[in-house]
A and B are shown apart, each in its own frame.
Chain A
Amino acid sequence: QKEVEQNSGPLSVPEGAIASLNCTYSDRGSQSFFWYRQYSGKSPELIMFIYSNGDKEDGRFTAQLNKASQYVSLLIRDSQPSDSATYLCAVNALGGSQGNLIFGKGTKLSVKP
């Protein structure tokens, strides 16, 4: 059974700081990596995806992928209180009982004003 691991947190950072969220995955053959944000009581929404090794930037968000280390991270620059949420890492699967995405349990981020 393939797995995706995240530190559950909570991760607390002051407003304006960089928040760093980490995720490791067990299947070396994984190809696609996603970061979802979930506000309390709401559904997950996609904020970034990455397929290739290296960095991918989108506004204040940067996804980093290292396939050799089986590690993907999300950096949030200039963190805002509105970034306070749970961040779910997801990795593609190949069907069967895990469907096409395996989700980590999420890291709760709290940005303090």
Chain B
Amino acid sequence: NAGVTQTPKFRILKIGQSMTLQCTQDMNHNYMYWYRQDPGMGLKLIYYSVGAGITDKGEVPNGYNVSRSTTEDFPLRLELAAPSQTSVYFCASSYSWGQETQYFGPGTRLLVL
């Protein structure tokens, strides 16, 4: 199993550009999550999904959108990139809610200039 994979590993965007961060898991997990991590600020939840077709906002959803058309994929869309979206983005998944481990992807480092 590859676990949770993310692409790209690194990207530079200009202000106002858009992009999609890809996330795929092969563990048949129902629950998937997008976090951003800024230096010294811990992990902040952007969006999460409890199954295909179901998504919900986390703490910091502004400027982002998600979709979940399959169990495996959970892409994160950035519209009109801003310097404040410079961060490291982690996708994670878990089998169930609450008492189960979240498995993290390797992360995408995004720089908005």
Interface of A with B (CB < 8 Å)? 8, 31-32, 34, 42-46, 49, 51, 88, 92, 95, 97-101, 103-106
Which chain B positions have C-beta within 8 A of A51?
Answer: 99
Q: Is the interface of A mostly helix, strand, loop or mixed?
A: loop
Bound: A56/B43 CA distance, A: 25
Which chain A positions have C-beta within 8 A of B45?
Answer: 97-99
Whether B42 and A46, one on each chain, are in contact in the complex, defined by CB atoms closer than 8 angstroms, is no
Interface of B with A (CB < 8 Å)? 31, 33, 40-43, 45, 48, 56-59, 90, 94, 97-99, 101-107
Which chain A positions have C-beta within 8 A of B57?
Answer: 97
Across the interface, B98 reaches (CB within 8 A) one of A8, A43, A46, A100, namely A100
Whether A8 and B99, one on each chain, are in contact in the complex, defined by CB atoms closer than 8 angstroms, is no
Whether A32 and B99, one on each chain, are in contact in the complex, defined by CB atoms closer than 8 angstroms, is yes
20 A-B pairs with CB atoms under 8 Å apart are A31-B98, A43-B90, A43-B107, A44-B104, A45-B104, A46-B102, A49-B99, A49-B101, A97-B58, A97-B59, A98-B45, A98-B58, A99-B33, A100-B31, A100-B94, A100-B98, A103-B42, A103-B43, A105-B41, A105-B42
Whether B106 and A42, one on each chain, are in contact in the complex, defined by CB atoms closer than 8 angstroms, is yes
Across the interface, A92 reaches (CB within 8 A) one of B56, B98, B103, namely B98
Residue with the highest number of chain A CB atoms closer than 10 Å, among B42, B56, B98: B42
4 further interface pairs, Cβ-Cβ under 8 Å (given A92-B99, A95-B97): A44-B43, A46-B103, A49-B101, A100-B98
Which chain A positions have C-beta within 8 A of B94?
Answer: 100
Bound: A71/B94 CA distance, A: 25
Which chain B positions have C-beta within 8 A of A42?
Answer: 106-107
Bound: A45/B103 CA distance, A: 7
Bound: A97/B47 CA distance, A: 8
Whether A43 and B43, one on each chain, are in contact in the complex, defined by CB atoms closer than 8 angstroms, is no
- Shortest distance from the beta carbon of B18 to any chain A beta carbon, whole Å: 24
Which chain B positions have C-beta within 8 A of A95?
Answer: 56, 97
